[in-house]
Structure formats: C-alpha cells, structure tokens
Amino acid sequence: MTHKKVIVIGGGISGIKTALDLYNGGVQDTLVLEARDRLGGRLLSIQSTNSNDKRIKYDLGASWFHDALNNPLFERSIEKGNVDYYYDDGKCIYFSKDEKDISTWRFSATLDEFMAYSQFVYKQNPSKPDISLKELSEEYVQKYKDRLTQDQIKYGLASVRMWAELWQGESWDKLSAKYCFGGDHLGRNVYVKNGYVTVFNNELDELPQSYRENNIKLNTHVTTIDYTSSKYIEITTSRNEKYTCDYVVSTIPQSLLTINDLNDPCYIKWIPSLPRHISSIMPSVKFSSLGKVVLEFDSTFWPTDVERFYCITDGVPSSSSDSKSIKPWQYPTILINYHKLAGTSTLVALTQNPLSAYIEGLLGGDKDTKIWEIFQPLLQNISSLTNIPAPKRIYHTPWNNDKYARGSYSTTLVGCDDPSEVVNAFVEGIEDRVRFAGSETVDGSANGCAHGGWFSGEREANFILNMIRKERVASKL
C-alpha cells in the first residue's frame, strides 16, 4: 500500500494550491487524487467557435476575478502577463418586457437603500426571524411606500431580485434575507477573456513536470476516508486502490459531503463518521446553480458599445419548485456582450435556479429550440431589428447534473445557520490531520469564489507545514 505524507483529494484550484504550497514548503511526498479525467474542477473553459482568434474562450465555471483589491489570482495573472483581463464595468442597459432602456436614476437609489435595509434590520434586531429576500422586499415597500415613487418600487425591487439571483444562483423567494448580501466585496470585478483555465494553469505549471506526471492521479475517485488508526489515515478509491497518509486534505465540494444516500456513487464513507461539529452544520450547506447559456450568432444585432444588458422582471416570484413550466420574462437575466469584450457576435446569459436546472435538464433534438424560446423575446428587446435571427450554436453549463459538483457554489437559503459557522466547522477539521480546503471553506466575500479556493489551499498547506515542523522539533527532544 502506498504511503504518502499528505493526500489531497480533488484537483481544482484549492487542491492544486494546497499541493503547490506543500511542495514549495519542502513537503514533496504528496499525492493529488482527482475523480474526473481532467483537472480544474469548477474552472472549465471552452473554445469560442465564433471567432478566428483562438484566445477567445467561454467559461462555464468562473469567469470573473472578484474582489480585485484582494485577489491573488488576479495579481499573479498580471505578473504572468498571459491572462487577457477586462474591467467590464462600462456601459450597461436595464430593460424589461415593457421598456427597452430604463434609466437607472429612476430606481438605483432604492436598490442601494434596500441593500442597506437588509443589513440594518438584522443588525438592529438580531433576533428578527430570517425570511426570504422577496418577503423582506415586500416588508420594505410596505414600510416606506409613502416615500417611494412607483418606479422605485417596481424597478428598484426588480433590480434587487436580479442582483441577488444572479449572484447567488437561486430564486429570491428561497434566498435568506439575513445573509444574502453579507460579505463586503473588496473591489471591482474583472472579466477573463482567454479562459480561466489560463489562470488555473499558471498555478498548476508551478509544480515541476515530474510532480504533475507522477503525483497527480486522474480518474481516481475517493470513496472512503478511514481515520480510525491514530498512526495513519486510509483512503480507498472506487477501484478499491488503497493509500495511507499522515494528513489528508479534502477539497471535495461540500455539496457532495452532504450526500447520505449510500447508493449514490459520490457518497463518501467516513470511518468513524464525521464528528458532530461538522455533521450538525450539514443541513445549512446548500449549493445553488448559477448557470450560463452561450448564444453564438452569425452577426451582431444588438448595440455593440454596451457591455452588459440587465433584464429585469416585474418582481413576480418564480415558481421555484416547478422547473417544467418555464416561460420567457419569468426570470431576470444578465447578458454579457462578447462583441464589446472580444469582437464576436456572442451573448452569454447568466441564469439561476430553477431556470438553470430546466436548461441543464433538457434532452433531445429540440433542446436548442426550447432554450431559444426562453431568450428570443428578451433579445428581441435589445435589438432594433424587427425579427432577430436564431443563434447558430448554443452551449450551456453542466453543473446541476455534474456528479462531482451538484450545483455551482454555496448559497444561504432561508433558515440556514450563519455561513461563518459552516466555514468554522470545516476549518476546525478533525484531529489536526483530516483537513478541509475548498472555496466554500473561507469566510467573507471570497466564499464560493476561485480566489477563495486559492486562499483555502494556502491556509491548509500552512497548517500542515506547521504541524510537520512541530513533529520534527518533538522528535529531536
């Protein structure tokens, strides 16, 4: 049986950063076990088929550096010089079914005030029960309707819904009003044009080639983590291979750690079972589903100088549980204009549940037609053409049905514990030798983000390097 000092489970950004920092810290006897046949996890770039420029890619996972003032991945990309980045905070247009261009002065003050209200009411009264974001917005309107214009009520709340749903990837009638807008952001967002895979590879390539060839195993799905013995931890894979190690770092997405159906292929057997401080917070671990739909056209029929089109609805709640009766205009959407970004006739639409689940679940030959039925009326409203053409190709995200993701990233639904408690439980780990990294194990604005994963890998590598230093000191005494 192969014994390693450290085994890292998962070859996404968190796992690779853990392995890299351990390597650079002098611990090279490590192994990364990755279930998929590729590295990168929720970082997944596909080539644009609408441009001769091979650098143009679409990201089905992360595409922005968030928190540009405190994002090491962004800083390292600038140093490397091989990432095409773009501050996409230029011209934007809000539109709805009835209006093609809604001036922001008509409602933006309400958007800001409502965000402040959602923080303020829970700070002022921490025992106020958690309600959905939709309910809190109704409460706000009820309280202040005499001080708000009709536009502020209508468009302000529709924009609250849009921002919340397309940041969190979930319907606003499910999102926790208490925690939805938590985690202050540290700076602007920066779009990656040539694929987040470039950012990922910049980290990966810092590991020597021999390490990448010999110490990273693809198609290696961990099924059992046995820490019964005080001398070693035993890891078993789906092919019944066994490894032992002194430390294990699990970067398995938390969505998979909540699985308790023994027949699910991604169920992880913990021996002994997970301790109470972790199992007790599992009901608060929720993954949402931010989705993306890439629409490639022959020509550009929308304004080329606009970076983003914000489609807002009239605030009618989406019927969250019913992803079968999806209709256009039911869900807010953000459309990213690749013409402005990269000179191609492509729009990328962001979606949230239940729309993401609907699109990702479509099967059969009429799939593209059904997707186009949702977006055609919206895109008609951003064009001056009488009849817009259908896209020639459509791509979309896979995450709901991807067995190693089960959604996009963490979210907070009504009634969840404080997200910091979930983070703390995982950061505590087990017996100082079973450790957890992953973008959902960091607190604050980096939670659920690629740079959060990077921070978590740095943290866990440091933890283990410290433990090993202590072991060495103790053995000399």
Ligand X SMILES: Cc1cc2nc3c(=O)[nH]c(=O)nc-3n(C[C@H](O)[C@H](O)[C@H](O)COP(=O)(O)OP(=O)(O)OC[C@H]3O[C@@H](n4cnc5c(N)ncnc54)[C@H](O)[C@@H]3O)c2cc1C
The residue ranges that bind ligand X (CB under 6 A) are: 9-15, 33-36, 41-43, 61-64, 66, 221-222, 251-253, 256, 290, 292, 397, 399, 404-405, 408-409, 438-439, 448-451, 453
Q: Which is nearer to ligand X, 110 or 251 (CB)?
A: 251
Q: Which is nearer to ligand X, 172 or 409 (CB)?
A: 409
Q: Shortest approach of ligand X to residue 363 CB, angstroms?
A: 20
Q: Which is nearer to ligand X, 348 or 374 (CB)?
A: 348
Q: Which is nearer to ligand X, 197 or 290 (CB)?
A: 290
Residue 385 has a CB neighbour count (10 Å cut-off) of: 10
Q: Which is nearer to ligand X, 61 or 354 (CB)?
A: 61
Q: Shortest approach of ligand X to residue 439 CB, angstroms?
A: 3
Residue 125 has a CB neighbour count (10 Å cut-off) of: 9
SS (H, E, C) the chain: CEEEEEEEECCCHHHHHHHHHHHHCCCCCEEEECCCCCCCCCCCEEECCCCCCCCCEEECCCCEECCHHHCHHHHHHHHHCCCCEECCCCCEEEECCCCCCCCHHHCHHHHHHHHHHHHHHHHHCCCCCCCEHHHHHHHHHHHHHHHCCHHHHHHHHHHHHHHHHHHHCCCCCCEECCCCCCCCCCCCCEEECCCHHHHHHHHHCCCCHHHHHHCEECCCCEEEEECCCCCCEEEEECCCCEEEEEEEEECCCHHHHCCCCCCCCCCCEEECCCCHHHHCCHHHCEECCCEEEEEECCCCCCCCCCCEEEECCCCCCCCCCCCCCCCCCCCCEEEEEHHHHHCCCEEEEEECCCHHHHHHHCCCCCHHHHHHHHHHHHHHCCCCCCCCCCCCEEEECCHHHCCCCCCCCEECECCCCCHHHHHHHHHHCECCCEEECCHHHCCHHHCCCHHHHHHHHHHHHHHHHHHHHHHHHHHHC
Q: Shortest approach of ligand X to residue 155 CB, angstroms?
A: 25
Q: Which is nearer to ligand X, 136 or 427 (CB)?
A: 427
Angle, to 10 degrees, between the axis of helix 196-204 and the axis of helix 450-476? 10
Q: Shortest approach of ligand X to residue 54 CB, angstroms?
A: 22
Q: Shortest approach of ligand X to residue 412 CB, angstroms?
A: 15
Q: Which is nearer to ligand X, 157 or 197 (CB)?
A: 197
Q: Which is nearer to ligand X, 37 or 305 (CB)?
A: 37
Q: Which is nearer to ligand X, 66 or 178 (CB)?
A: 66
Q: Which is nearer to ligand X, 84 or 138 (CB)?
A: 84
Q: Which is nearer to ligand X, 41 or 156 (CB)?
A: 41
Q: Which distant-in-sequence residues (6+ apart) come within 8 Å of 455 by Cβ?
A: 72, 442, 446
- Tell me the residue number closest to ligand X, measured at CB: 41
Q: Shortest approach of ligand X to residue 422 CB, angstroms?
A: 14
Of residues 146, 178, 106, the one with CA closest to residue 411: 178
Q: Shortest approach of ligand X to residue 21 CB, angstroms?
A: 14
Q: Shortest approach of ligand X to residue 71 CB, angstroms?
A: 8
